[in-house]
Amino acid sequence: MNRLVVVAMCCLFSLAGRAYAQLADQVFEPDERKMVAATVDHLRDPDSVLFRGVVSGFFFNGSENRPFVCGKLNAKNAHGGYSGYEPFMIVLDSEDVRTASYRLIDIGGLASDLCEKARKSPPR
């Protein structure tokens, strides 16, 4: 009887570990149109926005797994020139990345710190 319990527990932990590993390795291709739409209210000329170094993944925010997009963006300022690349972070409103809407969290130094923490915070 004890062997059966031990075998069942081992199988359960093995399956749970495999599911965790799959989610931790899961990345998705961010939708650039949704990224631009998330920045519209925060930039003078959102049509000019350029992205680079974009990464995506999932992090555990204390209650659920949240998809995120991080990278750097550059857009034109009031004088018509590009202002330089700044870090940004966008969080998606659901785990279903195909239908989720994007919400800009920050542009600037804080976004860099948030992205670093999100990359180090594995999903659960």
Sign for the pseudo-dihedral over CA of 32, 35, 40, 42: negative
Residue 62 falls within a domain, yes or no? yes
State residue 122's pLDDT score.
Answer: 64
Residue 5 falls within a domain, yes or no? no
State residue 64's pLDDT score.
Answer: 80
Residue 20 falls within a domain, yes or no? no
Q: What does the pLDDT look like over 95-109, one tens digit per residue?
A: 788 888 899 989 988
End-to-end CA distance of the chain: 31
pTM value > 0.85? no
For 105, the domain range is 27-120
Residue 7 falls within a domain, yes or no? no
Residue 33 falls within a domain, yes or no? yes
The number of domains in the chain is 1
C-alpha separations of 98 from 1, 55, 81 in Å: 46, 16, 34
Q: What does the pLDDT look like over 17-70, one tens digit per residue?
A: 343 334 444 567 888 889 888 888 888 888 899 999 888 888 877 788 888 899
Residue 85: helix, strand or coil by DSSP? coil
How is residue 3 written in tokens?
A: 């062997």
Residue 43 falls within a domain, yes or no? yes
